[in-house]
Structure 1
Amino acid sequence: MPYPKGHKIKVRNTIVESAAQAFRTHGIHDVSVPFIMKGAGLTHGGFYSHFDNKEQLVAEACRYAISDTIALLQKVADQEEQNPKINAVIDYYLSPYHRDKTEMGCIIPALSAEISHSSEEVRQVFTQELERMIAFISDLAGIEPSKGSALFSTMVGSLVLARTVNDPELSDSLLSSGKRYAKELVTI
């Protein structure tokens, strides 16, 4: 009996979601295709009927994860009644919750170091998606893209460092300082 219409696309999307979650949590190189497929509830034998290679999956997972993050941040902004709405996004992005929930967090701080060693295809997709994220942040803050780059870089850098250290007080301090200076960038 044949699969219902749209089955292959649904399975492919499930694999991409599993990969995005795994890459956010463990990085690219520490995640195998069998691990991703198991997370999707599938055997690894079917991987190549959906993707040419792991690099193609990394690129698609980056697209998916950044779209997911932008949608989440837009929801945070939409729920904010005060202006500027960017402050609610900064507060969420640099929160202990976002720091600790890497499996659903922004993929940019999770993968940036590894992406620099990836294929040109993956780097191109990551670049396009980073530009899309910066445009989202800039538009939401009502600032020019170069200032939006500085704002988002401050947010990403603060989150990376807060996730890296093993001292909880220092981690919280990095988030708090990052919030304060990110918000100052918006008002300058």
Structure 2
Amino acid sequence: MRFPKDQKAKTRERILDAAATVFRRQGYRGGGVDAVMREAGLTAGAFYAHFPSKDALFAEAVVHALRKATVFTGAHLDGLSGAEWVAAAVGWYLSPQHRERSESGCPLPPLLAEVARGPSEARSGFEKELRAAADAIAGQAGDADDALAVLALMIGGMSLARGVADEELSNRILAACRRAADTVSRPKPVPEKKPKKERK
């Protein structure tokens, strides 16, 4: 039985949404095709009409989840630019509220280890999206290396904050990473040029 193209595209999107949820929750190895299709409300037999393998699904689900994340496009950044934009993005990301949204927030912290251990297609898709995120920060902070450092503080800080049981320690980690990211992303003072001495 053939389905209209738009229906097939919607079903595919549904499977990708479900896969992102399942892989965040259970990891790549723990999240099987059956679990993904159950989450999507579809029969397991329908899977191969959309994806050739679980590896292909994982690679696409990672990119899909990253593109749907609103870290650098959300309303919390409206009307901001430069250092204010970076501070708002970092402040939203490294917040207790975002920490509690492990299944619906940014997929980087829960999926990072899975991507490192997963199929190579997932790593290349992840790398492309990571570069895009770093470019978004660099566009506001002005320095590509500083942008990578801020991104590492955001993702690493959130991973650590979610990994500890002590809420006070978790909050301290978030606050420390916010301060460090602020320091890194601040515009650097331009050194004054000393006037040249005139030759006599």
TM-score, reference length from structure 1: 0.91
Does the CA-based 8 Å contact 2:82-2:141 persist in structure 1?
no
Q: What does residue 174 of structure 1 align with?
A: 173
Greater share of residues in helix? 1
Q: Does 1:131 pair with 2:131? A: yes
Output the amino acid matched with 2:92: Y
Structure 1: segments with no counterpart, 5+ residues: none
Instruction: Kindly state the Cα deviation for residue 27 of structure 1 after the two structures are TM-superposed.
Output: 2.2
Q: What does residue 119 of structure 1 align with?
A: 119
CA distance in 1, matches of 2:171, 2:26: 22
Number of residue equivalences: 186
CA distance in 2, matches of 1:25, 1:86: 29
Q: Does 1:6 pair with 2:6? A: yes
| Equivalent runs, 1:2-151 vs 2, <5 Å | 3-69=3-69, 71-75=70-74, 76-78=76-78, 84-139=84-139, 141-151=140-150
Does the CA-based 8 Å contact 1:66-1:133 persist in structure 2?
no
CA distance in 2, matches of 1:21, 1:49: 20
Structure 2: segments with no counterpart, 5+ residues: 189-200
Instruction: Kindly state the Cα deviation for residue 5 of structure 1 after the two structures are TM-superposed.
Output: 4.0
Instruction: Kindly state the Cα deviation for residue 82 of structure 1 after the two structures are TM-superposed.
Output: 9.7
Identity percentage of aligned residues:
34
TM-score, reference length from structure 2: 0.85
Two-structure CA RMSD over aligned residues (Å): 1.9
Query: 3-12 or 89-98, which moves further after superposition?
Result: 3-12
Instruction: Kindly state the Cα deviation for residue 3 of structure 1 after the two structures are TM-superposed.
Output: 3.3
Does the CA-based 8 Å contact 1:19-1:36 persist in structure 2?
yes
